[in-house]
Amino acid sequence: MIRLARISVCIVAMTIQPASAQRLPWFGVDPLVADALGALRETDHWIATAIKPFHPPTVIEGRDDGAAIPSFDPTQHLRYRLVDMRPGTPRAVFLLLAWHSISGNGPSPGVIMQQVVTAAGRRWHIACEFRDYGLSLTLLDRRSHGWRHFRVASGEYGWRPATFTPDAPLPGGAPEGAMECVPLVLTEFPP
């Protein structure tokens, strides 16, 4: 009995940390965002081709230091945002590829990845492509088909049902519930 008590006291002492200890969670990219990026990479979209990694790293000809062309690195070049665009649907994933190799000194290209729930399971669908400078995106109060309008550097966007999924042509067209974002007001840029 005493032995049992001693063991349990020992266990309690080991599990409870001293008052001044501080427990921190690890940080990482939201798994839904990582999944959306993986789905984008599977497509034939020009961005997917542009962010395709080199293996082994390609060395620039004629450079003695053997400088390699850098591959796309999500830790440095990816901006993202999970947004509730319509209640009752999975959150849309905004991906912005803020990488000089593809954006130059203009706004960076980005896509919205929509997760469509079908009878066969969840599928990713590219809702549209846009451009932004990576500072902020604005959600507007207006909605079409229940989907919230938004504004980025390349303009203000509304929504309509999608008829096809870009760069992943399917025999039956876009899955039911797939949406497409369309520019409504083009903003002139650079200002």
Partner 1 sequence: MMATAAVFRAALALSLAIPPAAAQRLPWSSIDPKAAVALRAFRQTDHWVAEALEDNYDGERLGRHTEERRSYNFDPASDLRYRVVGMRQGAPPAVFLLFEWSPVRGNARPLASSCRKS
- Where do contacts with partner 1 occur on this chain (CB under 8 A)? 24, 26-29, 31, 33-35, 37-39, 41-42, 52-53, 55-57, 73-76, 78-81, 83, 94, 96, 132, 134-141, 151
98 Cβ contact list (under 8 Å, min separation 6) = 77, 78, 79, 108, 134
- Closest approach, Cβ 29 to partner 1, in A, equals 5
First to last CA, the chain: 79
Give CA–CA dist 94/31, Å, rounded: 14
CB of 1 to partner 1, least distance (A): 36
Q: Is 63 helix (H, G, I), strand (E, B) or coil?
A: coil
What is the smallest separation between the CB atom of 79 and partner 1, expressed in angstroms? Answer: 4
Nearer to partner 1, 41 or 131 (CB): 41
Burial tier of 190 (Cβ tally within 10 Å: 0-12, 13-18, 19+): exposed
- Sign of the Cα pseudo-torsion (71, 56, 30, 169, in order): positive
Closer to partner 1 by Cβ: residue 84 or 176: 84
**Closer to partner 1 at the Cβ: 125 or 151?**
151
Residue closer to partner 1, measured from CB, 132 or 180: 132
Closest distance between partner 1 and the C-beta of residue 147, in Å?
A: 15
